[in-house]
Amino acid sequence: MVIILLFAMALIAVILWEGNYILGKYHVETVYVDGNLHYTDDEIKEMIMGGILGDNSLYLTRKYKNWEAKDIPFIDAITVETLAPDTIKITVYEKALAGYIKFLDAFMYFDKDGYLIENSSVRTAGIPQITGLSFSYAVLGQPLPVEDERVFSDILTVTKLLKKYELSADKIQFDGDNVILHFKDVKIALGNERSKLENKIMILPEIFKTLTGRKGTFHMESYDETHGNYVFKTEE
């Protein structure tokens, strides 16, 4: 009986030692966060590292191996990678947002198919506002009821081209047959010829170099790459 008791005590001591060793060795000291636009690094850390063992890299890596975000707005999934026993990298996979509309004093974000996926009081940097769309109501989880659903394809085309050429528009405006990009004090009127959109957008980085400090509209509706037909109209 005494031998069994001593054995049990020794086993408990070993388990406690190993537990303390694991807790100490894998205690998180450094955290890198990547992929987050809507949430700050601190907000992501608070979401992921709260609760028991929230500061243990071994536990976090296993917990978030195939984890999907079901109740966190703007986020599809999050993974945690152990770079060192005391260092982790949190990678955030946000929902693919095509743009947002302002409706009833709120920012309503929609995906590439026009489905409204989030209603927020916070504007996410890097996601353009879309204006000029005609609709009378907006319901989360449903497509935005516009007159012509082809506009979502146009929005996706423009946003992909902006990303491709490392441009970030504040607003994409649909004004009749004209697509107008807003960049702070400069507006770019592109027209509506889909086949020429990329040729126009690809030269914008060079054009912006000549517009520093200026305010107005750069008209490219009739632009073609051969003649470079465009004009800048200054605004006060």
Mean pLDDT score, 199-219: 85
For the cut 90, the answer to whether the pLDDT of residue 51 exceeds it is no
Distances (CA, A) of 122 to 38, 103, 105, 164: 8, 13, 11, 26
pLDDT in the model for residue 229: 64
Helices assigned H by DSSP within the chain? 2-25, 41-48, 57-63, 151-164, 197-201, 204-208
Assign residue 207 a region: left if phi > 0, alpha if psi is -120 to 50, beta otherwise? alpha
* Separation of first and last alpha carbons in the chain: 95
Q: pLDDT (tens digit, 9 = 90+) per residue, 150-183?
A: 888 888 888 888 888 988 889 999 887 788 999 8
Task: Say whether 230 sits in a helix, a strand or coil.
Answer: coil
Helices assigned H by DSSP within 187-232? 197-201, 204-208
CATH code for the part of the protein at 26-94: 3.10.20
- Copy the structure tokens of residue 176: 């009749």
Q: Where are the domains of the chain?
A: 26-94, 99-234
For the cut 90, the answer to whether the pLDDT of residue 15 exceeds it is no
Mean pLDDT score, 88-104: 87
- Copy the structure tokens of residue 155: 């929005």
Judge contact between 119 and 97, C-beta under 8 A.
no
Residue with tokens 């940097």: 125
Question: What is the pTM assigned to this prediction?
Answer: 0.66
Helices assigned H by DSSP within 132-220? 151-164, 197-201, 204-208
pLDDT band at 1, cuts 50/70/90? low
Distance (Å, rounded) from C-alpha 202 to C-alpha 225? 11
* Record: fold of 99-234: Rossmann fold (3.40.50)
Q: pLDDT (tens digit, 9 = 90+) per residue, 54-73?
A: 888 888 888 888 777 777 77
Distance (Å, rounded) from C-alpha 30 to C-alpha 86? 6
pLDDT band at 124, cuts 50/70/90? confident
pLDDT in the model for residue 223: 67
Distance (Å, rounded) from C-alpha 145 to C-alpha 197? 25
